[in-house]
A and B are shown apart, each in its own frame.
Chain A
Amino acid sequence: MNLRRALIVARKDFEEFRKNKYILGTILIMPLMVAVVLPMIYVVPINQLGESRGNPLDLHLDVRVVYANVTISNATIFDARIENSTVVNTVLQGCFVIDSSISGANINGSEVYYSDVRNSLLINSNVYSPVKNDGNLLTDSQLIGEDGELKRLQDIMFNVLLILLIMIPVTIPTVTASYSFVGEKVNRSLEPLLATPITDLELLVGKSGSIFLMSMGATWAAFAVAIGMVDMLTYPVLGYNPLPTDYWMVGMLLLAPAMCILSILTNVIISSRVNDVRVSQQIGGVLVLPLLIFFFSSLAGVLSTGVGPLIIFSLGIFAADAGILWLSLRVFRREQILVNWVL
């Protein structure tokens, strides 16, 4: 395969897309809506729930001692920074605790970050993003960051936002591929193009490559903007940046390209059967169905919302891509295009 020729086709398609207002509108408006407008809508309930929990207390700690990687039990500690330690049946007064495991403690006027806190009494303290928050009694204290109800709400909101973001690499190819392939049929420009030395594979790679790069460029830009928007809007309430999670990273780097390839190749096959750009787009729209089934199964609890199932689902889509590529190569042959495609 001569990649140079594939690149020439890709560049020509880019140029055509750039001059097509409909395609340009799709590439710009959809990501803008999903990445900017929707985070503003989705963040409202998270912020409201977070705000109902109150703001962090202003404690002004004066740390004088540091304990790191130790086990503290049956003690009384004042004005200390405790890191990566185990604290049992201890009184903590004016302490800063991070990445530690605390149980049966009396925590007063302290700040606790990213720790496993169980069966403890928290008085006049801030607890940020606890790893575990079981059996604790909070008196005049603030629980700040993800936990229980807020975490579940976040998961739902962020998953729905992820679905919408992954619809970008599915939707853009239904528009661009329709124009790229069906458009060549409608303009009758395929015949002179196929009369050149370009091979069927080079043509398929060139056309698919331009659509893939453009769709994924818009998708990843939308992801970056959405992450920035969500983090910017939730940080004042949560006190940390909730995105990107591992789940989002898998969605962004694995599932989005897999769905994009699926969309492009399916549109190649659809284009071989239809002669109208709109029909091609409508049939291509069906592609979002497996995506919706997967995500709503996750939200309904039928599937886990963990990273593992998402990786497996993404790999499944890549396997489907391979099958559809095989089919596309069978459909995308000179003879078939000119004789069987309705030109």
Chain B
Amino acid sequence: MIETVGLGRVYDGRVAVEDLNLKVKDGEVFGFLGPNGAGKTTTIRMLSCLIGKTSGTAYVNGFEIGKEPDASSIRAMVGLLPESPGLYESLSAWKNLDFYAQLYGMSRDSRGKRIEELLRMLDVWDRRDDPVATYSKGMKQKIGIARAFVHNPKVVFLDEPTAGLDPQASLTVREFLDALSREGSTIFLNSHHLDEVERLCDRIAIMNRTVLAVGAPRELAEGYWGRTTAIELAQIEPRFVDAVRALPFATNVRVLDGRILVDLDRPDERNPEIVDALAAQGARIEYVTELRRTLEEVYMRLVGGVKR
């Protein structure tokens, strides 16, 4: 659905994005993570044909960005929620959405049905005729999201979709995105909310001008640290640790927070051997669990030290 090949953008000598290589599959929810100024918004703007590229290229549903008439075709099939919802404050939610639906060439009937469906899903149906100026920030963000989906786009770019939303509104938006992704839209979202990205996205790219890592959230963690088994004993003694270290497959054996941690290639096969070795030394094993790395740890490891 989306493919970038060495995509880059330079603003007046300042590199915003360089050598970006990505593939986003049809119907995928793809998260884009990175610090401020990492080029996330620039990437979205290039892919939605708002600005041009300075190097490389990209394809959205087979159409090449930055070239007419391909760019027009891309604009017709994508939806966009920019960093700020950018609504017409004196108009109602209904009129805001209807205006965009008309620009996308939708018929009166299909516009009405779609707008009602979206506003009901986002819990703003009751306020549909009120001027947007009277809405809370969260409601405006919801209308901005509804606008991005109003024409049943094949691809939707969302820049910080839950920024400024309270937990309840964030949940509504997450459920909404989840429901619409099941309808087949490819969703490409920028976010700083690691937890949200981890929950919503099938795959994630961490970027800082270029892509630093791509994968499913769990794959990313495993890719950087391997898999780690944590063994909790009634009492840790040096001989127990030495027993584990003596095993040929165990690497990076250390004690942390009262647990023995061991990095393993295939924990499902190796964990019983570790348990046997510890039992042979008389250790009382209370728990054997897999130590899960958070996306935040991966993110901080990749971009934490980067100063812009």
Q: Which residues of A contact B (CB under 8 A)?
A: 5, 8-9, 12, 15-16, 19-20, 187-199, 334-335, 338-339
Interface of A is mostly: helix
> What are 5 A-B interface contacts by the 8 Å CB criterion?
A187-B89, A188-B84, A192-B147, A195-B82, A339-B51
A19→B90 contact, CB < 8 A: yes
What are the residues of chain B within 8 A of A199 when measuring CB–CB? 72
Complex Cα spacing A193 to B81, Å: 11
CB distance from B56 to the nearest CB of A (A): 17
Q: How far is the CB of B25 from chain A (nearest CB, A)?
A: 22
Chain A residues with Cβ below 8 Å from B79 are: 195
What is the total number of residues of chain B having a CB less than 8 Å from a CB of chain A?
Answer: 34
A-B contact count (CB 8 A): 78
Q: Which residues of B are found within 8 Å of A334, using beta-carbon distances?
A: 49-51
Interchain CB contact under 8 A, B80 and A191: yes
**Stretch among B97-105, B184-192, B194-202, B279-287 lining the A interface:** B97-105
Chain B CB within 10 A, most for which of A16, A20, A191, A199? A191
Which residues in window 68-117 of B have CB below 8 A to A? 72, 75-76, 78-82, 84-91, 95, 99-100, 102-105
Q: How far is the CA of A335 from the CA of B42 in the complex (A)?
A: 12
> Do A191 and B82 have beta carbons less than 8 Å apart?
yes
Please determine whether B48 and A195 come into contact, CB atoms closer than 8 angstroms. yes
Q: Which residue of A lies closest to B72 (CB)?
A: A197
| A16-B51 contact given A8-B99, A192-B80, A338-B45, CB 8 Å threshold | no
Inter-chain contact A197/B87, CB cutoff 8 Å: no
Q: Are A195 and B86 in contact (CB under 8 A)?
A: no
A189 to B88, CA, bound (A): 7
**B37-56 toward A: CB 8 Å interface, digit per residue (1/0)?**
00000000100111110000
Q: Which A residues lie within 8 Å of B102 (CB)?
A: 8
Question: Contact between A20 and B52 (Cβ–Cβ < 8 Å)?
Answer: no
Closest A residue to B131 by CB, please name it. Answer: A19
Given contacts A12-B88, A188-B86, A189-B88, contact A195 B99 (CB under 8 A): no
B residues less than 8 Å from A194 (CB atoms): 50
Bound Cα distance from A199 to B103, whole angstroms: 11
| B residues in contact with A9, CB < 8 Å | 103
Q: A12-B88, A189-B88 are in contact. Are A338 and B103 (CB under 8 A)?
A: no
A194 to B45, CA, bound (A): 10
Is B86 a contact of A338 with CB atoms below 8 Å? no
**What are the 8 tightest A-B residue pairs by CB atom distance, in nearest-first order?**
A189-B86, A188-B86, A195-B80, A19-B90, A188-B84, A191-B82, A197-B76, A196-B103
What distance in Å separates the Cβ of B66 from its nearest Cβ neighbour in chain A?
10
Q: How far is the CA of A198 from the CA of B50 in the complex (A)?
A: 12
Residues of A contacting B72 in the complex (Cβ-Cβ under 8 angstroms): 197, 199
Chain A: CB-nearest residue to B41: A191
A15 touches B78 (CB 8 A): no
Inside 8 A of A196's CB, which chain B residues have their CB?
A: 75, 100, 103-104
Report the minimal beta-carbon distance from B50 to chain A, rounded to whole angstroms: 6
Chain A CB within 10 Å — which of B81, B85, B90, B148 has the most? B90
**Across-interface contacts of A20 in B (CB, < 8 A):** 90
Report if A8-B87 is in contact (Cβ < 8 Å); known contacts: A192-B147, A195-B80, A334-B51: no
Question: Quick one: given A188-B82, A191-B86, A192-B100, are A335 and B51 in contact (CB under 8 Å)?
Answer: yes
Cα–Cα, bound, A315→B78 (Å):
44
> A187's contact among B49, B86, B131, B148, by CB below 8 Å, is which?
B86
CB of A328 to closest CB in B, whole Å: 20
Q: Are B50 and A195 within 8 A (Cβ)?
A: yes
Please tell me if the beta carbons of A187 and B87 are within 8 angstroms of each other in the complex: yes
Indicate if the CB atoms of B86 and A192 lie closer than 8 Å: yes
Task: Check B103 against A197 for contact (C-beta < 8 Å).
Answer: yes
Query: Which residues from B are CB-within-8-Å of A195?
Result: 48-50, 75, 78-80, 82
Closest B residue by C-beta to A337: B50
B87, B89, B103 — most chain A CB neighbours (10 Å): B103
